[in-house]
Amino acid sequence: MTIYLDNAATTFPKPESVYRAVDLALRSVGANPGRGGHLMGLAAGRLIFEAREVLAGFFGIRDSARIVFTANATEAINLALFGLLQPGDRVVTSTMEHNAVTRPLRALQEQGVEVVKVPADHLGRIDPAAIRAACAEKTRLVVLTHCSNVSGTLQPVEEIGPWCRQQGILFLLDAAQSAGIFPVDVEAMGVDLLAVPGHKGLMGPQGTGMLYVREGLQLRPLIYGGTGGNSHSDWPPEQMPERYEAGTLNTCGIAGLKAAVEFVAETGLARIRAHEAELLRHLIDGLKKKSGIELYGPLSPEGHGGALSINLAGLDPAQVGFALDRDHDIVCRVGLHCAPDAHRTIGTFPRGTVRVSPGYFTTHEDIDCLLAALSTLLRQATA
């Protein structure tokens, strides 16, 4: 049986309730939400509304209409960045960002947006004082990842977000690696824009995500088209969330996302986090006992998300990942993980790392199997 340790990419398996919700929506809620006044269309619209309400409660969002459904966190980030920024604006970010942030900002630089990258330390941690210093010049937006997808480093955004709010600087939080694992409250954390994938820590289906837009912010739409209303006009509607949801929504995926968030809420973030922290501690303790393995990022589970990067002496990460998959039926991720700046920061560019990311359904037996497999690879490398 395959041991799945690539939950930072997408969680697997999903809760049983997620599978059931997707199946039920496909079979019985087959119409488009917001299109037409017939009973099936109304049922689909009701499902979408209920999902928004569940997500709003989960992230401390006062008005669920401020939630825009997207295909993933990348789309949400693109909507936020391209919808907000204008030539001449200044953005502060970090060297620990995923390409979902780095690449849109690179494109916006070509359009006249100034981008300042604050370097993290060798553990991947961003110093709030460095963010404050970088914002000494007039700054429109700070955009940061909550938790690194490479080193697992949890960033001190609870300190940075409220400071940005006090200074009148907008704050975009990329919660791709934290939502469903760590508490995220947009009001307490001073978040103006929140990008979330549905398929990672929230344990929903792929093809789902959301962007929260704080009340008072108006973005340019990323996609234009039919919204089910305002059909007489060439322009999209002004009201949220329809302004940013052109085209048919992923109704069955959103049904699964609703079920997933309900599962996470009922299980409890504290319980989920405690289990994953135990697994991480088990893994780190086991790796520390082996010579020939280098670990990156913070080694205390308290300041660490689900992703742990390692390398084996004398072996390319690609070799390790291939051998784990082929010979030991263990799934992980190797390479640069769509975050080359993060690897430059922690000193693993251009080769990258072997990334191991346990999830809620991972067991201690799975970790023991991985540790045994790595021991075998180390012996083979020195034989």
Q: Where in the chain are the domains?
A: 3-12+268-382, 16-267
The CATH number for 16-267, chosen from 3.40.640.10, 3.90.78.10, 2.40.50.70, 3.40.50.1000, is 3.40.640.10
- 363: tokens are 């067991």
Q: Can you say whether the dihedral through the CA atoms of 39, 45, 48, 52 is positive or negative? A: negative
Neighbours of 165 (CB within 10 A): 17
> Which alpha helices (H) appear in 115-268, and where do they start and end?
128-134, 157-167, 251-267
Neighbours of 122 (CB within 10 A): 11
Distance of CA 163 to the CA centre of its chain: 23
CA distance from start to end of the chain: 28
Give which of 96, 74, 121 is closest to 341, Cα–Cα. 96
Query: Is the separation of the CB atoms in 175 and 196 below 8 Å?
Result: yes
What is the rounded distance in angstroms from the CA atom of residue 364 to the CA atom of residue 92? 40
Measured N-to-C along each axis, helices 99-110 and 73-84 cross at an angle, to the nearest 10 degrees, of 30
Query: Is the separation of the CB atoms in 96 and 345 below 8 Å?
Result: yes
* CB environment 81-105: b (16+ within 10 A), e (fewer): bbbbbeeebbbbbbbbbbbbbbbbb
**What is the residue-level pLDDT of the chain in tens, covering all 383 positions?**
899 999 999 999 999 999 999 999 999 987 778 766 777 778 888 999 999 999 999 999 999 999 999 999 999 999 999 999 999 999 999 999 999 999 999 999 999 999 999 999 999 999 999 999 999 999 999 999 999 999 999 999 999 999 999 999 999 999 999 999 999 999 999 999 999 999 999 999 999 999 999 999 999 999 988 766 667 777 877 788 989 998 889 999 999 999 999 999 999 999 999 999 999 999 999 999 999 999 999 998 888 899 999 999 999 999 999 999 999 999 999 999 999 999 999 999 999 999 999 999 999 999 999 999 999 999 998 87
Please identify every residue annotated as catalytic: 338
* Entry pTM: 0.96
- 350: tokens are 């251009």
What is the rounded distance in angstroms from the CA atom of residue 150 to the CA atom of residue 338? 9
> Which alpha helices (H) appear in the chain, and where do they start and end?
16-28, 39-59, 73-84, 99-110, 128-134, 157-167, 251-267, 269-288, 317-328, 340-346, 364-382
Q: CA 88, 79, 219, 196: dihedral to nearest 10 degrees?
A: -120
| CATH tag, 3-12+268-382 | 3.90.1150.10
